[in-house]
Amino acid sequence: MAGGRIEREGVETKEAFVPIISVEELPALLKGGATLAGLDLGEKTIGLAVSDRGLLFAHPRPVILRKKFTEDAQRLLLALGKEGCAAVVMGLPVNMDGSEGPRVQASRAFVRNMQRLTDLPFLYWDERLSTVAAERVLISMDVSRRKRGDRIDSAAAAFILQGVLDRLQALGAEPSR
């Protein structure tokens, strides 16, 4: 699975400038047992995964069925609050050749809209092949085709988040207590 920082940007809100951060900036934000969330934005669902407090493992959570942005955002922010998330990793579905298509634009627009509702920082992470990897794992676990469809986005979110957690480990980052 490929992974990495895509680019740095931010959005102006009425309250403050909410940045898109890099993976190197995460350790300073992850204090006091805070967790990290990973998102995989699908057309019909939002896959969600959350780290453990030790920042070692990504755990899939139930998908959020997409309806209207306002409802989706409320359910997502409620879940992030319950999980004690200090930052959100958004999978960025870059094409295999590195180009950005409509799905990348949709992901960036989703983050821009979320930034109007929360002060949580976001990090973009290259998610190439995360859905393929997630599906292979679900198949190897003998999960039926119907159930795979219900779980694939959260499994992909876990792969995305695990890539960031592994990068944090490689950087020698430990959660601040």
Element of type H or E holding 72: helix 69-83
Strands, E assignment, the chain:
10-12, 17-19, 35-41, 45-51, 58-65, 85-92, 122-126
Share of the chain above pLDDT 70, in %: 73
Rounded to whole angstroms, how far apart are CA atoms 89 and 37? Answer: 6
127-171 residue pLDDT tens: 865 565 555 655 565 555 665 566 667 888 998 999 999 999 888
Mean pLDDT across 69-87: 96
pLDDT (mean) for 13-24: 67
| pLDDT tens profile 40-55 | 998 899 999 999 999 9
- Tell me what pLDDT residue 33 has: 85
Instruction: State residue 133's pLDDT score.
Output: 57
Mean pLDDT value across residues 82-91 = 95
Computed over every residue of the chain, the mean pLDDT equals 80
For the chain, count helices (H), then strands (E).
5, 7
Higher pLDDT, 97 or 56: 56
Please give the pLDDT value at position 176: 52
Sign of the torsion formed by the C-alpha atoms of 154, 122, 16 and 176: positive
Three-class secondary structure of residue 161 per DSSP: helix
What local confidence, expressed as pLDDT, does residue 32 receive? 82
How far, in Å, CA of 168 to CA of 144, rounded?
Answer: 33
